[in-house]
Amino acid sequence: MTRTRIKICGLTREADVDAAVAAGADAIGFVLYRKSPRFVTPERAGELARRLPPMVTPVLLFVNENAMNIEAACACVPSAALQFHGEESAEACSAEAHATGRVFWRAARIPAGDGAGFDLLKFAHTFQAAQAILLDAHVEGYGGGGKTFDWSRLPPNIPAHLVLSGGLTPANVGAGIAALRGRGHSLAVDVSSGVEADGPDGKPLKGIKDADKIHAFVRAVRAADAQFSIAP
């Protein structure tokens, strides 16, 4: 088995991009959904992405965006992968991937609790052209809500590369990796709210990351991999 790869999502500041890179993240996510509190413009995403060294992948997150805006955003971030997080069809995702010359990830929004009623095997088959299927909890507002779902209820053999998301933190990511390892072709993890700074009310400051939490999250992933004797 390969090591668990790591994406830090919802970044808006240079300092947070630098912290994620320093901690060892493999990918950095920029939210281009205007209703999200973590929204950045394509131009801003391009500025932040230019800080990334080779082999750290920028990922652009879209929710039901039109083709013109997707293609304009790709022009601002030439090396980015695409992540579709809304109701986009398989045909629409593939068309935009072809038009922009990019790979795409497709988010599967799994109901909280036991995930009843969601056929992940059918979803993976429908989106078989995706580079990866991102497993996220179904929340109002299309992700970033800090909610988990019952990982143990997922099918044992999912024909896709998997990215586990939804409510991950340094405290629970190891359990998520243990639950999902071996269920797909490979496994990555994606965190947003779980590494955000705390506001005065104790709630996450959406879009503002905490460098110590980022480093703690990466250490927790590496510790989980060590349990499976995975080389770094």
Which secondary-structure segment (H or E) carries 73? helix 67-76
**d(C-alpha 154, C-alpha 187), whole Å:** 14
The residue annotated as part of the active site, out of 136, 190, 210, 225, is 136
225 belongs to the catalytic site: no
Pairing of strands 132-137, 27-31: unpaired
Do residues 77 and 113 make contact, with C-beta atoms less than 8 angstroms apart? Answer: no
Least Cα distance to 163 among 141, 193, 185, 140 occurs for 185
9 belongs to the catalytic site: yes
**d(C-alpha 198, C-alpha 209), whole Å:** 9
Token pair for residue 107? 């988010």
The residue annotated as part of the active site, out of 9, 74, 76, 93, is 9
The SS3 of residue 211 is helix
State CA 143 to chain mean position distance.
10
214: how many CB neighbours lie within 10 A of its CB? 26
Least Cα distance to 26 among 11, 47, 4 occurs for 4
Active-site residues, by number, are: 9, 136
